[in-house]
Structures are given as structure tokens and as C-alpha cells.
Chains A and B, each alone.
Chain A
Amino acid sequence: MSTLITDSNFTDADAFYAALADVHRDRSDAESAAINARLILLLANQVGNQQILEQALAIAGQVHIKE
């Protein structure tokens, strides 16, 4: 079974984070939401493997928003 990588796998984590912030700079909330959706779909296709995607979805789904 394929396993989701949860140790760091970035070639340059800081550069990625900075680029992520940049793509959202001066965007409306609706634009940012759309950018995030597009990004998820692009990266999901890159990952491809359904087992891995489902593990990522399971972790992502565990949100606890403080009301």
C-alpha cells in the first residue's frame, strides 16, 4: 500500500511558502478560494495515486474550527 509522505519532502520549503503567499497577494477572497481549488486539483493530479490522495483527504478533513 502506498503511504502519504508526512516528513518534509520540499526541496525548498521557505521558497514554496513565499511563492504561495505571492500568488495570493492582492487577491479578493473569492479569487483566493478559486486559486486554492485550482492548486489542489493540479497537485492532486500530480500525486495521482488514489490511496495517497485518500490519506491526505482524511487528514485534511479533521478540522476543528473554534466558534
Chain B
Amino acid sequence: MASTYTNPEYPYRRSPDQDATQPVHHQVIIVGGGPAGLAAAMDLALHGIDSVVLDDNNTVSVGSRAICIAKRTLEICDRYGCAQPMIDKGVIWKHGRVYFGEEQIYEFDLLPEQHHKIPAFINLQQYYFEEYMVDRCMEMPQIDLRWLHKVAEVASTANRAEIVVDTQDGPYRLSCDYLLVADGANSPIRDSLGLESKGQIFEDRFLIADIVMQADFPAERRFWFDAPFHPNQSTLLHKQADNVWRIDFQLGWDADPEEEKKIDNIRPRVEAMLGEDQQWELEWASVYTFRCRKMDSYIHQRVIFMGDAAHQVSPFGARGANGALQGVENLCWKLAAVLDGRAPASLLDTYDTERQHGARENILHSTRATDFMTPKNAVTRLFRDTALDLARDYPFARSLVNSGRLSTPCTYDDTPLSTPDRAEFSERMRPGSTCLDAPIAGPEGRQEWLLERLGNRFTLLLFGEVAADARQQLEAALASLDREGHHTRALWVLPQGQHAGRDNEVVDTEGVLAQRYDLRQGGVYLIRPDQHVCARWRTLDPDAVAQAVHRALGKTLAEEQAA
């Protein structure tokens, strides 16, 4: 097999905790050093919360596995400080072709919207994604990353979790305020606590053949329904970094996974597809089946589940790791606020409600893609083939063709943390939405991006001029929030053509911010620490701002529940 990547080996290190006579207590322990666990450690570190990360292995992902990293994931990673190496290494693509039988039925350009710092998505092998996260974690003094420390036992009470960790030096005990569990789809901890992830198993098998080749075709996504070289099944070709190409062959439920993984069986499939003259070498092969399932609740006393352990989707639409990171950023600011005593513990319940909604949406999209690709009966096969046939000439049918939709972050429409709109606004940035980026300029015309300025704290975006007395009242309201520990930053956005004078002033240089946020003179947005909108007004009312901050911290909800 070819090898473009050598897995790093992170050494086992003995922790002083292993020599302690009593179990050492930590605020947060994270189980699993995959995308969700590493992201949680970084997110908490940026909130000033220390964590211990325990991983039973000593390296990053073996095999390329998840390869599509969506924009929101990269924006989150940019906040953590590890997006740039991903973007530099990843393959940016925007062109796709869809084939049905012998023919290309259409091609598309994603034509991503201009004026965003981060591309719509990149293709990058999971091992690089994780390696760059590990590199960043190692720079953060708040993170204590322990490789080859395997959690063997977990017990939770109402106010702490206790664990036993196995190592080559023998077992040791730890306790923590919160145990964040990201130990994968088959979560041993979930099982050991008698908890379940429930859902649907899809009776189908797929072969991934990642091959290395110098190909003269561009970095585009090609998808075949019923290809002549692979009849009655779907095939996907996608480019990754290092000239590695992902080929994903649908095999059907009757395929024998062990047989199909053999190079002697893979070779004829790839040759039929690429021709016998194309030079290539196999880098990694895997036969997978998948399920769409989730836990009824991600929170079990002081044990909180994240990532695939909490919710699992089919790979079509890239919603596994991408969905995991949206969940992590949802959880971590809340956990930091609760640990700092700034919010009631019930705020954490909204991680469950908001991300149950996210998981349902992700499962819905990935199930629909799966159902389109693999019709369950004769009539849905007829509809699918008819949609594909019509798609050649009639654009409407292309909107029905579903080989996986791009992963986009969900909007928390019904969350109790949002303050409902009182005024008329466009739908796009309604409360619960993820903030969209926009180019801005800081003092001295410095080019910046809105999301960089939002960071991970409550931010109040104020657009244009505000009357002097309202400004004074606002400063008093923000000072009062500050005294309560709810630091909320004001960011004054000046219209095009003006100049930022102070550090908390920026200019909407392209007019894009006002347009995306439907902002007019005097308009105000309150942004949560996870960069979701939680309230907006046409005019500034400092009391309403303070109330909205309290609501977003779960205080209003806690009072209502107590009443």
C-alpha cells in the first residue's frame, strides 16, 4: 500500500495524578481525543477552564475517514487557532458533476457567496484535521492531554463523576465536576452506564478506496448513479490532500466486507472506473455500514455525551464531525458559565434541547440523501430515475437529485435562550441563527472579519449613530452586567465611508454586514458566545439588552421553572 501520511505517535506520559494517595479532582475531564474531545478542550481553554483529555490510543485517526470539513467547522477552528493549517493543506473545490448511466446529466458550480473569510468547505483527511487540533491543544497550558490513558470505569452522582483509568503503569482514580464523553459511535461509556443511542440501521454496505494518483482532472466532486463501470449502485470520486482520491463504491447489503477489502477485489473495480492505463496505488480501504441514531438525552447527571457517542449520522452530507463541532461549541460556553457560577446549572439542559434539534436535522438530511441514493422499492426507484432523467434538460429536477447536501449549521428556532423579535426583520439572521461573517475594518483601516471580533463572549453589535443619552444608559447597563460577571462587549459598527477611531469601533467596509444582518441606523444585535444571534432590536433599549443577556444565560428559564 502507498503511504502519503505517517501517523504521529504521541508518547504515554505518567501523570502526577497517578502517584496521589487520594483521587485527584478536576473541574472537567474529557474522554476521547477525536474531533469532539479535542475541540471541547480548546473551547474550554479559551474560556479559561482547565481540562484533562484522556485517550486510549497514541495517535490521530488511522485512515482518512471523514474528509469534508464545512465552513462553520473551520470558523469554529479559526476561533480555536487551528483553521489556517487545515485550509492551507485542504483541497478547496466548488465544481461538481452528476452522472446517470453513461451520461453526465449536469454539472454545477457552488459559486460560494463572496465576502467570507473561510471557504464554503474543504476536503481534508481526518488525520490531518486531528493532528492540527492536537498541535494547537499542545500549545494551550489549560489542556492536559494524556495518551494511552484508557477510562475503564465511570460512576456518576448528582454532583460529581468518578472514573478509573487504566494505563501501562496500572490503574488510577480521578474525579471531576463534569465528565465530557466523546468516545465514539460505539461509546463504551454509554454502554457501561446502561444508556442507548437509538435509531435506524441502513442495510447497505460501501467500499472506500482511497488511492494515490497523479490525475489530470480537476479537484471536483463526481457522483455516478448507476455507473456503467459499477451498475445499479452509486459511486463517488472526491479529491483530498496529497493527491489522494476518495472513491466510494456502494456495494449492497449482501457484499462480504472482508472479501471486498482485498486489493485483488478492489483493483478490478478501480480499473473499470479509471481505465487500465491510469497509474494508482491504494492508500487505505474500508467497508462500512452506517446508522442514524441518537441518545434521548445527552446528559446523564454529571456525564455529558458529545459527537458520535451522542448522535450518529450517515456519511452523506458530511454531518458527523461537522455536527459534532457545532455541539461542542454549544456546550462549552454554557459549561464555562456554570462552572464560573455565572449561570444556573439548568443552562446545560439547553445543550441537550438545542443539539437534539441539531441532531434531528442532521439525521433528517442524511436519511433523505440515503433514501434518494438507495430507493427502498420499485416506485421510489422509478421516481429517482425519472428525476435523474429529467435533470438533464429541466433544472427543476436537479433540486430533487440528492447525493448529500452540504452541511450547514442549524438555527435554534425555538430555544428559550433567545428573545423573540418585536420588530420586523428579514428571516436570514433571526434569533437562533449562526452569525454570518462579513469584512470589516478596524482603527487605521486594518482589514478584519466580523467573526474574529465576536470571539467567544457576549457581543452587542450596534449599527450607526446612537443618541448620546442612550449611549450613556447603555454604558451603565453594560457596567452593571460586568459587575454580575456577564461581561458583554459593545462593538460599534460604522457605515461605509466612515473611519473607526476607537478599538471597539469597526467599519462595514463593503456594506455587507448591514445587508446580511438587515441592519439600519440604530439597529442592535446581541450575539451569544457561540456566535449565535440571541436578540435584535431596531433601536437600542439598554434594559432590554440586560434582560436578553440574562435570558441567554438561562436565568429567566430557571426563574420560570422555579415559579
Tell me the count of chain A residues lying within 8 A, CB to CB, of chain B.
Answer: 20
CB distance from B390 to the nearest CB of A (A): 8
CB distance from A59 to the nearest CB of B (A): 7
Q: Which residue of A lies closest to B387 (CB)?
A: A17
Q: Which residue of B377, B378, B394, B400 is within 8 Å of A17 (Cβ)? A: B400
Interface of B is mostly: helix
Within 8 Å of chain B (Cβ to Cβ): is A5? yes
Within 8 Å of chain B (Cβ to Cβ): is A24? yes
Interface of A is mostly: helix
Q: Which residue of B lies closest to A29 (CB)?
A: B378
CB neighbors of B among A2-23 (8 A): 5-10, 13-14, 16-18, 20-21
Q: Is the CB of A13 within 8 A of B376?
A: no
Given A8-B395, A13-B400, A29-B379; 14 other pairs, CB 8 A cutoff: A7-B395, A8-B396, A13-B399, A14-B402, A17-B372, A17-B400, A18-B368, A18-B371, A21-B376, A24-B379, A25-B376, A25-B377, A29-B378, A32-B379
Within 8 Å of chain A (Cβ to Cβ): is B428? no
Chain B CB within 10 Å — which of A17, A20, A24, A25 has the most?
A: A17
CB distance from B389 to the nearest CB of A (A): 9
Q: Which residue of B371, B378, B395 is within 8 Å of A21 (Cβ)? A: B371
Write 27 A-B pairs (CB below 8 A) sorted by A numbering. Answer: A5-B396, A6-B395, A6-B396, A7-B396, A8-B395, A8-B396, A8-B398, A8-B399, A9-B396, A10-B396, A10-B399, A13-B399, A14-B402, A14-B405, A17-B372, A17-B383, A17-B387, A18-B368, A21-B371, A21-B376, A21-B383, A24-B379, A24-B380, A27-B379, A29-B379, A36-B379, A59-B394
Within 8 Å of chain A (Cβ to Cβ): is B365? yes
CB distance from B69 to the nearest CB of A (A): 22
CB distance from B259 to the nearest CB of A (A): 31
Bitwise interface map of B from 404 to 433 toward A, beta carbon under 8 Å scored 1, else 0:
010000000000000000000000000000
Q: Which residues from B are CB-within-8-Å of A16?
A: 400
Q: Is the CB of B368 within 8 A of A24?
A: no
| Interface residue range, chain B | 20 to 34
Q: List residues of chain B with CB under 8 Å of any chain A CB.
A: 365, 368, 371-372, 376-380, 383, 387, 390, 394-396, 398-400, 402, 405
A55 to B394, CA, bound (A): 13
A39 to B387, CA, bound (A): 17
Q: Which residue of B lies closest to A6 (CB)?
A: B394
Q: Is the CB of A14 within 8 A of B396?
A: no
Q: Which residues from A are CB-within-8-Å of B399?
A: 8, 10, 13
Q: Is the CB of B396 within 8 A of A17?
A: no
Lowest 3 CB-CB distances: which A-B pairs, in order? A8-B399, A13-B399, A32-B379
CB distance from A9 to the nearest CB of B (A): 6
Q: Which residues from A are CB-within-8-Å of B371?
A: 18, 21
A36 to B377, CA, bound (A): 15
Q: Which residues from B are CB-within-8-Å of A29?
A: 378-379
A7 to B387, CA, bound (A): 13
CB distance from B100 to the nearest CB of A (A): 13
A9 to B402, CA, bound (A): 16
CB distance from A55 to the nearest CB of B (A): 11
A65 to B470, CA, bound (A): 72
CB distance from A12 to the nearest CB of B (A): 10
Q: Is the CB of B383 within 8 A of A20?
A: yes
CB distance from A4 to the nearest CB of B (A): 9
CB distance from B245 to the nearest CB of A (A): 28
CB distance from A52 to the nearest CB of B (A): 13
Q: Which residues from A are CB-within-8-Å of B394?
A: 6, 59
Q: Which residues from B are CB-within-8-Å of A5?
A: 396
Q: Which residues from A are CB-within-8-Å of B378?
A: 29, 32
Q: Which residue of A lies closest to B364 (CB)?
A: A18
